[in-house]
Amino acid sequence: MIETPSSAASLATPYRTHTCGALRASDAGSPARLAGWVHRRRDYGKLTFIDLRDRHGITQVVVDAGDAPEASEVAARMRPEFVVAFEGEVALRQPGTENAKLETGAVELQVRTATILNEAKTPPFYINDPDAQIDETLRLKYRYLDLRREAMQRRLLLRSRLVHAIREVHHGSGFVEVETPNLIKSTPEGARDFIVPSRLQPGEVYALPQSPQQLKQLLMVAGVDRYFQIARCFRDEDLRGDRQPEFTQLDLEMSFVDEATVMDFVERMAIEVSRAVVPERALLATPFPRFTYAEAMERFGSDKPDVRFAMELVDLEPELRGTDGAAASGFRVFDEALAGGGRVKAITVPGLADAPRSRIDELTEAAKRFGARGLAHLSVEASGSIKGPIVKFLGDDLAERLAARAGAAPGDLVLIVADTTAVTNDVLGRLRAELGTQLGLADPDVLAYAWVHRFPMYQWDVENGRWDATHNPFSGVVPEDEVLLTTASGDPALPTPDDPAGRARAMQYDIVLNGWELGGGSVRIWRHDLLERSFALQGYTRERMQNMFGAMLEAFEYGAPPHGGIALGIDRWAALLSYQVNIREVMAFPKTQSGSDLMLDAPSEPDAAQYAELGLRFVGVPTRPS
Ligand code: ASP
């Protein structure tokens, strides 16, 4: 574990000999000077007790009016959050009054002199009550006070240790840390760009990087070999709990690699970092399980499966077809789905066989919300008999075989969706994730990393008549599928929905942690001819291609090594390692759902001079997206 040296002598300053987390029983009898914030003050007539706080801890300070009358007067004026300093002697606490919850709980500082360094207004919320329910708007407006709270300090420190550990592993593995600029040209990652008007070149704008993607690939052309950066990325999209307009990625790129080289390095790095930052948390499996996209969708109905619990999707089809191969289960919804090329699949929910009608209705509603037409169910009663409204269509025998195929035991509930493959997998995948949380099936202490790779390279964009890259426009094709890219169905410059490229799989891999996508990357297309073809499939004209990616296309004519990389969301990683579901909880100064910084009051209107300098004028303010 990488420790923050709270007790180190190097933290001594003219204001203090020790931090508020440093004093121990062995210091009893020594003089000490402490400085910090008043966490709590208790007056007992002659005696005043002050809990003095800094980010290293809390130390109890005692002022005895008999021994130090002046200090006692000063202490009487101290209020919560005043910045104060004390000088005195460390003493063991009275037997029975030690505080085992504090690391400094064996001792107290018996004060000779007390100083108020700075007064404080009454804070808008309690900083010293860990259970206080505080409105988030208030927390964000007074973030500097919110960050004083112990839980926030702990998360900030965890994040700092995380980044430290990441740097250590990379520096130890031949990586070079390179900073790439923030004022650049668009590097698309599927979101809108934030743009910055140029004063020196009126009428032109920079784009803030959605990621350093093109720059890191150019660094590979530059021969850097292994690059990493703790990079700030900017994406103008609607915000959710795990999204912010600016966020931080661990961005890396490696030369002369294939998929396995990158995945193996990232896996080792993630293990070492996790062990360094949260040694108390168990890793579910090493090596991390690796699923192809197809397998992940088939088994978990998700490309970011939470593998801390099973509840896998089971294909019921083999039981539903007769000996002649026709779907003849007797239940029309199942038979029609199969006849139409769809699927009938199930998940088995432990212990829900006795769920009341209202609970089944809720699950059915959820399934509909996720896009299914309905949800069928079978309950396995304690006696082993199968109940449910569809049993009268299926017959007891088939119902029993279906429940057995789904692996259901007495007391279990089998939920069945019959629809297209995509809808069936997706709906069951979401139900699985939701029920996993609701029923507490996932051990919150465990870290379950997994890989999902071999994603489809493209998906047909009906509206625009082109193939959209499912991930990154620069992702390479798996070597076996290269031929699918090079054989066009017609004019290679004009994408069509029948292009064999639609079946191509990308050398793309996502790393997943506890059901969250932690990061994604790919081995890139590094051959000029394939890159041009891929861009053409994605509907870029030569001109647009040149305009958007000119530097990269040109660079690729000067000897680009095979290369690949990945980016991992530091905010998400820090959130998952500190049991948070919202990344705002691990960001020092996050923005609200509408992209505002409530503390600095940003965004704000430019002043008149700025308009003039930039030659800008808002011609109309669009209505805010709701
Ligand atoms: N640039 C990609 C992203 O930000 C990551 C990568 O492919 O390396 O999502």
Distance between CA atoms of 523 and 81, rounded to whole angstroms? Answer: 53
Measured by CA distance, the residue closest to atom 8 of ligand 1 is: 566
Q: Is the pLDDT assigned to residue 444 strictly greater than 80?
A: yes
Distance between CA atoms of 327 and 329, rounded to whole angstroms? Answer: 6
Question: Tokens standing for 328?
Answer: 């003849």
pLDDT of residue 402: 96
Question: Does any ligand 1 atom lie closer than 6 A to the CB of residue 590?
Answer: no
Backbone φ and ψ for 173, nearest 5 degrees, come out as: -120, 25
Ligand 1: centre distance to CA 15 (Å): 46
Per-position DSSP letters for 440-472, written without gaps between them = T-S-TT-B-EEEEE--BSEEEETTTTEEEESS-
Ligand 1: centre distance to CA 425 (Å): 26
Q: Is the pLDDT assigned to residue 1 strictly greater than 80?
A: no
291, 452 contact by CB (below 8 A): yes
Ligand 1: centre distance to CA 189 (Å): 8
3-state secondary structure of 608: helix
The structure tokens 């959209």 sit at 468
Q: Is residue 134 part of a domain?
A: no
Per-position DSSP letters for 337-349, written without gaps between them = HHHTT-EEEEEEE
Widest distance between CA atoms in the chain: 100
- Whichever domain contains 342, its CATH number is 3.30.1360.30
Ligand 1 pocket test: pick from 250, 472, 475 the residue with the most ligand atoms within 8 Å of its Cβ.
Answer: 472
Ligand 1: centre distance to CA 233 (Å): 10
Beta bridge partners of 83: 37, 118
pLDDT of residue 622: 66
Q: Is residue 142 part of a domain?
A: no
Ligand 1: centre distance to CA 565 (Å): 8
Question: Tokens standing for 137?
Answer: 């708007």
165-207 pLDDT per residue, tens: 999 999 999 999 999 999 998 777 788 999 999 999 999 999 9
Closest C-alpha among 379, 381, 376 to residue 363? 376
Question: Does any ligand 1 atom lie closer than 6 A to the CB of residue 566?
Answer: yes
What does pLDDT average to over the chain? Answer: 93
Question: Tokens standing for 32?
Answer: 């000490």
233 Cα nearest atom in ligand 1: 4
286-302 pLDDT per residue, tens: 999 999 999 999 999 99
**Exposure on the CB side of residue 346, measured as CA atoms within 13 A:** 27
Ligand 1: centre distance to CA 566 (Å): 6
Residue of higher predicted confidence among 587 and 526 = 587
| pLDDT, mean of residues 510-527 | 96
Distance between CA atoms of 379 and 395, rounded to whole angstroms? Answer: 14
H or E segment to which residue 528 belongs = helix 528-537
253 Cα nearest atom in ligand 1: 8
552-579 pLDDT per residue, tens: 889 999 999 999 999 999 999 999 999 9
- Whichever domain contains 582, its CATH number is 3.30.930.10
Closest C-alpha among 191, 213, 207, 208 to residue 474? 213
Question: Does any ligand 1 atom lie closer than 6 A to the CB of residue 189?
Answer: yes
507, 470 contact by CB (below 8 A): no
Shared domain for 259 and 371, answered yes or no, is no
474 Cα nearest atom in ligand 1: 7
Question: Does any ligand 1 atom lie closer than 6 A to the CB of residue 476?
Answer: no
470-481 pLDDT per residue, tens: 888 889 999 999
Q: Is residue 496 part of a domain?
A: yes
Q: Binning pLDDT at 50, 70 and 90, where does residue 529 land?
A: confident
Shared domain for 160 and 275, answered yes or no, is yes
Tell me: cis bond preceding 287? Omega within 30 of 0 counts: yes
Contacting residues for 302 by C-beta, under 8 A, at least 6 apart:
296, 426, 429, 430, 432, 433, 515
249 Cα nearest atom in ligand 1: 4
How many domains does the structure of the chain reveal?
4
Shared domain for 576 and 601, answered yes or no, is yes
Ligand 1: centre distance to CA 211 (Å): 7
364-391 pLDDT per residue, tens: 999 999 999 999 999 999 999 999 999 9
pLDDT of residue 338: 95
Shared domain for 240 and 341, answered yes or no, is no
Distance, first Cα to last Cα, the chain: 45
- Whichever domain contains 19, its CATH number is 2.40.50.140
607-619 pLDDT per residue, tens: 999 999 998 888 8
pLDDT of residue 2: 38
Question: Does any ligand 1 atom lie closer than 6 A to the CB of residue 508?
Answer: no
Q: Is residue 39 part of a domain?
A: yes
Shared domain for 14 and 114, answered yes or no, is yes
Ligand 1: centre distance to CA 257 (Å): 16
Q: Is the pLDDT assigned to residue 12 strictly greater than 50?
A: yes
Ligand 1: centre distance to CA 277 (Å): 24
Distance between CA atoms of 87 and 71, rounded to whole angstroms? Answer: 10
Question: Does any ligand 1 atom lie closer than 6 A to the CB of residue 519?
Answer: no
Q: Is the pLDDT assigned to residue 624 strictly greater than 70?
A: no
Domain that holds residue 346: 309-441
pLDDT of residue 145: 98
Closest C-alpha among 278, 275, 309 to residue 450? 309
Beta-carbon count within 10 A of 425 CB: 23
Q: Is residue 483 part of a domain?
A: yes
Shared domain for 42 and 92, answered yes or no, is yes
- Indicate the Cα dihedral angle 52, 54, 57, 62, nearest 10°: -10
Q: Is the pLDDT assigned to residue 510 strictly greater than 90?
A: yes
Shared domain for 282 and 174, answered yes or no, is yes
| pLDDT, mean of residues 406-428 | 97
**Exposure on the CB side of residue 563, measured as CA atoms within 13 A:** 27
Shared domain for 429 and 470, answered yes or no, is no
Distance between CA atoms of 189 and 209, rounded to whole angstroms? Answer: 9
Ligand 1: centre distance to CA 137 (Å): 32
Shared domain for 398 and 459, answered yes or no, is no
Q: Is residue 266 part of a domain?
A: yes
Domain boundary among 70, 101, 118: 118
Sheet (strand 343-349) strand order: 314-315, 343-349, 413-419, 376-380, 386-387
Distance between CA atoms of 479 and 92, rounded to whole angstroms? Answer: 70
Domain boundary among 417, 441, 465: 441
| pLDDT, mean of residues 76-85 | 97
Shared domain for 357 and 462, answered yes or no, is no
Q: Is residue 623 part of a domain?
A: no
Shared domain for 269 and 358, answered yes or no, is no
542-552 pLDDT per residue, tens: 788 888 888 88
Question: Does any ligand 1 atom lie closer than 6 A to the CB of residue 520?
Answer: yes
pLDDT of residue 490: 67
Ligand 1 pocket test: pick from 220, 226, 232, 251 the residue with the most ligand atoms within 8 Å of its Cβ.
Answer: 251
Ligand 1 pocket test: pick from 186, 193, 211 the residue with the most ligand atoms within 8 Å of its Cβ.
Answer: 211
| pLDDT, mean of residues 503-529 | 95
Shared domain for 552 and 577, answered yes or no, is no
209-261 pLDDT per residue, tens: 999 999 999 999 999 999 999 999 999 988 776 689 999 999 999 999 999 99
pLDDT of residue 306: 97
Q: Is residue 133 part of a domain?
A: no
pLDDT of residue 495: 87
Instruction: Give alpha helix (H) positions in 556-595.
Output: 570-577
Q: What percent of the chain has pLDDT over 90?
A: 81
SS3 content of the chain, % helix, strand, coil (to 5): 30, 25, 45
300-334 pLDDT per residue, tens: 999 999 999 999 999 999 999 888 888 888 899 99
Report which listed range, 324-328, 441-445, 524-528, is most confident: 441-445
